[in-house]
Amino acid sequence: MSIFDESIDTFLAPVKEYLADESVSEVLINGPKEIFIEKGGLLRRVQAQFQDEQALQAAVRNIAQFVGRKIDQDHPTLDARLPDGSRIAAVLPPCSRKGTTLSIRKFSKNVPSFADLLQRGTVSKEGARFLDVCVFLGKNLIISGGTGSGKTTLLNVLGSRVPGNQRLIVIEDSSELKIKTDHIVNFETKHPDAEGKGEVTIRDLVKSALRLRPDRIVVGEVRGPEALDLITAMNTGHGGSMGTVHANSPYDGLIRLETLAMMSEMQVPEQAMRRQISAAIQVVVQIKRLADGSRKITHISEVVPEVDAQGRYQLQHIFEWIQKGKSEDGKFIGELVPTGHLPSFFGEFEVNKIPLGRENFQPPAWYASLASKSRAA
């Protein structure tokens, strides 16, 4: 089945085979003569080309029309979701220098599970069990990572573990998450109309969500002042809320949230903001796309609820990915292992009859020697 209708397929003929191929996750068009696809997590250039810039622009205009939007010289960018859930983004020249840029991120029908992440080597069994417990116990959690590192995918997996008797409100810029749970409400932002009116932002939706009796709130991507609303929600009894941020380490993830929260009109002093954030977020999960195309959870870290004497966030890594080597075909070999630090909420395990004991947080014998090397690398 095609993700577009037949008339658009005609315009997209040069990339049709990739759109139809389920193993291709993204199609990236950098002007008419340069096309890349992503397959198995790796990008590669393909021979296909559009006849010329006009042919490519015609395709993009038709896609825009298909989703009820406009792209032209006055509105040279487009970011939209197709009815099947695929995402498209486009920028026209002269903003885009090589000719029209178009990316199509295909919606994958399969809702991933922990088993898939295990099989892909993204998480270890122990790491998955711990994350599952964090979700079950209603810890507030953020997923931090770069673009395409697998944040949204991981959020799908974690969100789908929210107990079915809890009401989940999911807020996104353009619907992408496919969380499977019994009681879920999905919100999507709205673009302003041609006169610039009628815009509904993530902030608006977080505020509305709070009046709709959520148990938990999920913000697909935190990238603006809604960070403050999410932090406030987390601090006011909506435990188990989650979101993703764009950052390269757990610490940077917190700094990123802080920077975004500071963008709101509320003037909160930095130290007060840091205290709020340390109190709000209990767990940061860092995910990374490695050079071999694989995605790895590199840290599962607990946020100490107080800043240190210098006012800095304090993180305690509970799990850490340690690189052990590299295979002959260039794949990274490593493991996500416990660091030996018990989570501060370990006491809740017994009360909730969670079958994880202290021994589950013991690092392997080789941990200390490899950890220092791995970090230095």
What is the contact surface with Mg ion in residues (CB under 5 A)? 151-152
Under the binding rule (CB under 6 A), the answer on residue 160 touching ligand ADP is no
- Residue 163: C-alpha distances to residues 113, 136, 138, 237, 259 (Å): 15, 7, 10, 17, 32
Under the binding rule (CB under 6 A), the answer on residue 224 touching ligand ADP is no
CB 295 → ligand ADP: shortest distance, Å?
A: 4
Under the binding rule (CB under 6 A), the answer on residue 147 touching ligand ADP is yes
b/e 140-171 (16+ beta carbons within 10 angstroms → b) = bbbbbbeebbbbbbbbbbbbbbbeeebbbbbb
Number of residues that bind ligand ADP (CB under 6 A): 17
Residue 123 exposure: Cα atoms within 13 Å on the Cβ side: 27
Work out what residue 282 binds among ligand ADP, Mg ion, none; the CB cut-off runs from 5 to 8 Å by kind.
none
- Of all residues in the shown chain, the one whose CB is closest to ligand ADP is 150
Under the binding rule (CB under 6 A), the answer on residue 25 touching ligand ADP is yes
Pairing of strands 168-172, 184-188: parallel
Which part of the chain contacts ligand ADP (CB under 6 A), choosing from 47-55, 140-148, 206-214, 264-272?
140-148
d(CA 170, CA 185): 6
d(CA 138, CA 132): 10
Under the binding rule (CB under 6 A), the answer on residue 41 touching ligand ADP is yes
Pick from 26, 3, 25, 100: nearest CA to 61: 100
Contacting ligand ADP (CB under 6 A), which of 8, 16, 26, 290? Answer: 26
CB 117 → ligand ADP: shortest distance, Å?
A: 5
Contact status, residue 213 vs residue 198, Cβ threshold 8 Å: no
CB 60 → ligand ADP: shortest distance, Å?
A: 21
By beta-carbon proximity to ligand ADP, the closer residue of 99 and 159 is: 159
CB 222 → ligand ADP: shortest distance, Å?
A: 12
CB 247 → ligand ADP: shortest distance, Å?
A: 11
By beta-carbon proximity to ligand ADP, the closer residue of 175 and 264 is: 175
Cα 151 versus chain centre, distance: 3
Under the binding rule (CB under 6 A), the answer on residue 150 touching ligand ADP is yes
Contact status, residue 301 vs residue 318, Cβ threshold 8 Å: yes
By beta-carbon proximity to ligand ADP, the closer residue of 143 and 205 is: 143
Under the binding rule (CB under 6 A), the answer on residue 117 touching ligand ADP is yes
- Per DSSP, the three-state class of 357 is coil
Work out what residue 275 binds among ligand ADP, Mg ion, none; the CB cut-off runs from 5 to 8 Å by kind.
none
By beta-carbon proximity to ligand ADP, the closer residue of 147 and 310 is: 147
Which part of the chain contacts ligand ADP (CB under 6 A), choosing from 58-66, 69-77, 149-157, 234-242?
149-157
d(CA 56, CA 86): 19
By beta-carbon proximity to ligand ADP, the closer residue of 85 and 239 is: 85
- Per DSSP, the three-state class of 362 is coil
> Which residues have C-beta within 8 Å of that of residue 278, sequence separation ≥ 6?
254, 303, 304, 305, 306, 307, 313, 314
Contact status, residue 255 vs residue 247, Cβ threshold 8 Å: yes
Residue 93 φ/ψ region, left for φ over 0, alpha for ψ in the -120 to 50 degree band, beta for the rest: beta
Under the binding rule (CB under 6 A), the answer on residue 249 touching ligand ADP is no
For 111-163, the three-class secondary structure string (H helix, E strand, C coil) is CCCHHHHHHCCCCCHHHHHHHHHHHHCCCCEEEEECCCCCHHHHHHHHHCCCC
Under the binding rule (CB under 6 A), the answer on residue 295 touching ligand ADP is yes
CB 176 → Mg ion: shortest distance, Å?
A: 6
Contacting ligand ADP (CB under 6 A), which of 16, 33, 39, 120? Answer: 120
Site for ligand ADP in 263-292 (CB under 6 A): none
Under the binding rule (CB under 6 A), the answer on residue 145 touching ligand ADP is yes
d(CA 242, CA 71): 33
CB 203 → ligand ADP: shortest distance, Å?
A: 21
> Using CB under 6 A as the criterion, which residues of the chain lie in contact with ligand ADP when the complex forms?
25-26, 38, 41, 108, 117, 120, 122, 145, 147-153, 295
